[in-house]
Amino acid sequence: MHTERSVAGERSSDRVYLALRGEILDGSLAPGAALAEVEQSARLGVSRTPLREALSRLQAEGLVTARGGRGMEVAPLSLADIRALFDLREALEVKAARLAALRRDPADFAPLRDALSAAGEDLAGASSREAYYAVVGRMDAAIDAAAASPHLVAALNGVRAHVARIRRLSRDDAARLREATHEHLMILDAIIDGSELMAAHATELHLHRSLASIVASLEAAPEAAPEAAPEPGPEAAPGPAPEPTTRAHHPVTKESSR
């Protein structure tokens, strides 16, 4: 019985972790949103123990932070945070592109190039943008595999979750996505050709333009820009299930670092 309870607890913790992580990455839980235990336990239909375990995992990933001894919150994102993440992203992705160009099998990348080119031609609807991000995700995975550097890939995966959050704060601009498609194709061409230098330069160019686009988008829409969260009040005592947390409306896309 003890084992059955332990397995059930683990499954509840995993379910809560995946649910909260998904809501943080897709922007439903906005940066700075309070994660009060009573409210979240009631909303997710679990006790506090699996919720706390899930929050601990999210805190280890940097997606949740302590709120001054008064519970937890979704990790805030400032423009300084965004620029710092792009500094780290550049170091990691440029290295991955270099290694991929040196170690790649061209046969793994040629079909991706065709798929990306096709996906970038139609970005008008939400479903077509979802298809585009799916191909970009495959491109990330192919570069990771070709780079053949487990520690580098682990570091990249940690950064990608935060980059996914940043994208939700900016506009899902079809014109920018078309530009990004051409930049991705330049990266793929360099990798297919085995050009380490060109792969690095193409990646640097893409990241520079991506950061500039995100910053410009946030400056053009101040209501979407990251801001400090208000101080929470005391956590309420258990009672009737509270209303669900107010959620921010940001465009939802597949998680990817591109």
What are the domain boundaries of the chain? 2-76, 79-220
In the chain the beta strands, taken as DSSP E runs, fall at: 64-66, 72-74
User: In terms of pLDDT, which residue wins out, 164 or 237?
Assistant: 164
Among 59-68, 165-174, 234-243, the range with the most confident prediction by mean pLDDT is: 59-68
Average pLDDT value over all residues in the chain: 83
Phi, psi of 66 (to 5 degrees): -70, 145
CA distances from 17 to 14, 23, 25, 106 (A): 5, 10, 12, 38
Q: Looking at domain 2-76, which of 1.10.10.10, 3.40.50.300, 3.60.20.30, 1.10.260.40 is its CATH number?
A: 1.10.10.10
pLDDT score of 221: 67
CA distances from 128 to 138, 141, 176, 208 (A): 16, 20, 14, 25
User: In terms of pLDDT, which residue wins out, 179 or 6?
Assistant: 179
CA 66/CA 113 separation, integer angstroms: 43
- Looking at the predicted structure, is the pLDDT value of residue 98 above 80? yes
pLDDT score of 71: 87
Query: Could you tell me if 108 and 140 are in contact, meaning their C-beta atoms sit under 8 angstroms apart?
Result: no
- Of 128, 129, 99, 117, nearest to 197 by C-alpha is 99
Q: Among 34-48, 142-156, 224-238, which is the least confidently predicted range?
A: 224-238
What tokens appear for 28 in the block? 């439903």
CA 179/CA 52 separation, integer angstroms: 42
Give the list of residues 6+ apart from residue 100 with CB closer than 8 angstroms, or none: 142, 143, 146, 147, 191, 199
- Looking at the predicted structure, is the pLDDT value of residue 224 above 60? no
pLDDT score of 256: 56
- Looking at the predicted structure, is the pLDDT value of residue 75 above 90? yes
pLDDT score of 4: 39
SS3 call for 73:
strand
Q: Which residue has the tokens 């899930």?
A: 54
Q: Looking at domain 79-220, which of 1.10.3720.10, 1.20.120.530, 3.40.50.10790, 3.30.1130.10 is its CATH number?
A: 1.20.120.530
User: In terms of pLDDT, which residue wins out, 249 or 46?
Assistant: 46
Give the list of residues 6+ apart from residue 4 with CB closer than 8 angstroms, or none: none
- Looking at the predicted structure, is the pLDDT value of residue 3 above 70? no
The mean pLDDT value for 102-112 works out to 96
Neighbours of 83 (CB within 10 A): 12
CA 116/CA 250 separation, integer angstroms: 24
Phi-psi region at 255: left, alpha or beta (left = phi > 0; alpha = psi -120 to 50)? beta
The mean pLDDT value for 224-253 works out to 44
What tokens appear for 85 in the block? 């993440």
CA 151/CA 157 separation, integer angstroms: 10
Share of the chain above pLDDT 90, in %: 59
pLDDT-derived band at 1 (thresholds 50, 70, 90) equals very low
- Looking at the predicted structure, is the pLDDT value of residue 249 above 80? no
pLDDT score of 46: 94
Q: Which residue has the tokens 């990455």?
A: 25
pLDDT-derived band at 230 (thresholds 50, 70, 90) equals very low
Q: What DSSP designation does 223 have?
A: G
Summarize pLDDT for 175-223 with one digit per residue, the tens: 888 999 999 999 999 999 999 999 999 999 999 999 999 998 888 765 5
pLDDT-derived band at 17 (thresholds 50, 70, 90) equals very high
Neighbours of 253 (CB within 10 A): 21
Q: Indicate if the alpha-carbon torsion angle 115, 117, 118, 119 is positive or negative.
A: positive
pLDDT score of 229: 43
pLDDT score of 129: 82
- Of 43, 145, 51, nearest to 103 by C-alpha is 145
Give the Cα-Cα-Cα angle 244, 246, 252 (nearest 5 degrees): 105
Share of the chain above pLDDT 70, in %: 79
